[in-house]
Chains A and B, each alone.
Chain A
Amino acid sequence: MSAPRVVGGRSPVVAYALMAPALVLVLGVLAYPIAWEAWISLTNFSSRAEGGPVFVGLANYRNMVREAIFWRGVGITVAYFAITTIAKLGLGVAMALLLAKPSRGRALVFLAVFLPWAYPGGVTVIAWYWMLNPPLITSYSVLAGNLKYAVDGWLGGGAYAFASVVLFNIWRGGSFTAIFLLAGLNAIPTELFEFAELETRSPWQRFCRVTLPLLKPYMALAVFLSFTTAFADLANVWMLTGGRIIFPVLGTYAYWLGIRSGQFAEAAAYSLSLVPLLVAALVVLFRWFDPRPEEAA
């Protein structure tokens, strides 16, 4: 192995020492919980079982795969992720392009677009809850109620709740994506866009052939950053449905199993069920936004 390029002749020991606080913090807080979760998913641990956890092999997973609600949960989770991600990317790209163009009032709009993400989620989630499910007899309760019944009647029970969680996620996450992609647009050399202006015929063609490909790594990064919310947007699902599990996003359902029913082992199995999918997605995304440099140190 060639000697690493070192500034001032320091050895890798210094580098590892500098990395230590962050690694100890992140892995220290997470390693045990993840291991615990994996181990518990292989036992019969629950609040009802006598004594300590007993190893039962893959029984929890086997039972889980036989449950209809699991597959419904997988479907909903994937749908939730797909819908919110596409919407957030679409909105994000649109707003980023809008804000990238110099114009009057842009600074103000920029701040407005920044707000949904910057404003603490605790209050905005209640705001959406009040808008969509007014909890009291307010002046618009009847209107919102009718809307809810219309949507649920049209698309089936729980559709309205699903839509409200989706909308909130898009609203908050879309803001982050927009600002993030705006930064990405700024990072692309302007000459490329000037060339594109000359080389392409229509704005649409320019967008498809130049802007989108250039934004791709940043979009991949934005998708990566919205992963957690899709898998376990617990707090929001919780708030927006008033703590009821109308449609099971896997993470929320796992939480429900663990906390409400004390079925910790099953809950752990549900929590871990998406790991293969997550890993696969990570591999693809990392390839897009973090290609390995030819001359890694």
Chain B
Amino acid sequence: MTRRRRRWRHGLLLTLAAIYSVFPIYFITVQSLKTAQEDVFGSPWYVARPSFENYTELFEGGEARVRGYVIVPRVPFLQWVGNSLSVLLLTLGLTLVAGVLAAYALGRLQPPGWWWWRRVLFATYVIPHTILFIPIYQVVIALGLDNEHLALVLIYSTMALPFCVWILSAFYRHLPREIEDSALIEGATPATAFVRIMLPMSRNVLVAAGLFTIGTVGNDFMLASIFLLDPEKQTVAAGLGVMDVSLAELLAVAGVNLAAIPVALVCAAFARDYVRGLTAAMVEGA
């Protein structure tokens, strides 16, 4: 009896956690599917007659148009999606390559002072980039990356790297040394031993680092809208982020939603490996 009741309570709490987590996303999606009329007279909780106007609007392209009393700005949405994708992939590539190299050095080779290097690198995570953006802009201009995707790629990488290096180096540090040594005895070079044996073993940790990077990129719209001003070069976040907080907002919701769904699906597909990766990095202490 009590056991049954406990199971019920557990199920109830799980349901609550799920509703609490999903509700805001559900809510805004509902609003983005409403016609103006239903927005005013309908119920906030659901949509009776869904209209995909906000979504189809994104693909019209071309010039600014008038819809009702609202001027709908020009939205080269597909181009923005392409830009976002290239920024995301470049950031992922750069972060993971630089992260793995550094993590191997810090976790396995452990040169003198590695302990402090690891901490210094991790401590940079608390530096808020948004506050530093004036001098960062100076750096970007000095590098000639003004209005270039590479500027965002560099900045995002510096935001994601501290955490990625931290978990990857924790994993390599705790990986039994014999695994690598046996490969070396077989005559493999350290590089092949790493690529063929250690790298595959750290797959889940790499997934964790990768998803963290995706989360970092996906969360930003401030930096994107500061550094990318040319509409042709903007990412989804930058393009929609600079739109006025006004009537057009639901268009922004539709846009980010559309761009977010594939990201959320990728995250969902790898969610389990993400946890496994974090766990693998955390065994024997953080």
Contacts and interface: CB of A to CB of B under 8 A. Distances in A.
B232 interface: no
A23 interface: yes
A264 B278 CA distance: 40
B275 A232 contact: no
A216 B272 CA distance: 23
A296 B110 CA distance: 9
A16 B163 CA distance: 19
Question: Which of A36, A220, A258, A286 has the most C-beta atoms of chain B within 10 angstroms of its own C-beta?
Answer: A36
B42 A139 contact: yes
Interface residues of B, number: 106
A7 B161 contact: no
A254 B135 CA distance: 14
A251 B131 contact: yes
Given A8-B184, A10-B190, A127 B253 contact: yes
Nearest to A140: B44
A16 B276 CA distance: 29
A34 to B, nearest CB: 7
B102 A123 contact: no
A184 B39 contact: no
A33 B41 CA distance: 51
A185 to B, nearest CB: 9
B171 to A, nearest CB: 11
Nearest to B164: A22
Interface in A68-116: 95, 98-99, 101, 103-106, 108-116
Contacts of B277: 183
B131 A36 contact: no
A29 interface: yes
A138 B39 CA distance: 5
Nearest to A293: B115
A184 B222 CA distance: 31
B104 interface: yes
Contacts of A121: 218-221
B18 to A, nearest CB: 4
Interface in B177-197: 177, 180-181, 184, 189-190
A237 B127 CA distance: 17
Contacts of B263: 118-120
A178 B13 CA distance: 14
B207 interface: no
Interface string A2-14: 0011111010101
Interface stretch (B60-68, B72-80, B239-247): B239-247
Contacts of B43: 139
B125 to A, nearest CB: 7
A239 interface: yes
Interface string A207-251: 000000000011011001101100110110011001100000001
Contacts of B218: 118-122
Contacts of B114: 15, 297
Given A127-B24, A297-B110, A98 B17 contact: yes
B245 A117 contact: no
B256 interface: yes
A255 interface: yes
Contact of B102 (A22, A110, A224, A243): A22
Nearest to B127: A30
Given A118-B267, A232-B130, A234-B128, A187 B18 contact: no
Given A112-B21, A113-B21, A120-B260, A6 B109 contact: yes
Contacts of A108: 18
Contacts of B39: 136, 138-139
A284 to B, nearest CB: 13
A126 interface: yes
Nearest to B38: A139
A182 interface: yes
Contacts of B7: 103
Interface string B130-167: 11101110110000000000000011011001110100
B127 A8 contact: no
B155 to A, nearest CB: 6
B215 A118 contact: yes
Contacts of B121: 22-23, 26
B130 A251 contact: yes
Nearest to A172: B219
A32 B21 CA distance: 40
Given A18-B101, A171-B24, A139 B138 contact: no
A56 interface: no
Nearest to A255: B131
A41 to B, nearest CB: 12
Given A243-B245, A264-B134, 4 more contacts: A109-B14, A131-B28, A179-B271, A235-B130
25 contacts: A7-B190, A16-B111, A33-B136, A98-B10, A98-B14, A98-B17, A109-B15, A111-B268, A115-B21, A115-B264, A120-B237, A121-B220, A122-B221, A126-B253, A130-B28, A137-B40, A139-B42, A182-B275, A183-B277, A224-B125, A227-B126, A238-B222, A278-B126, A297-B111, A297-B112
Going nearest first, the 10 A-B pairs with the smallest beta carbon separation are: A127-B28, A183-B278, A232-B128, A12-B111, A33-B135, A118-B267, A22-B102, A15-B109, A15-B111, A123-B256
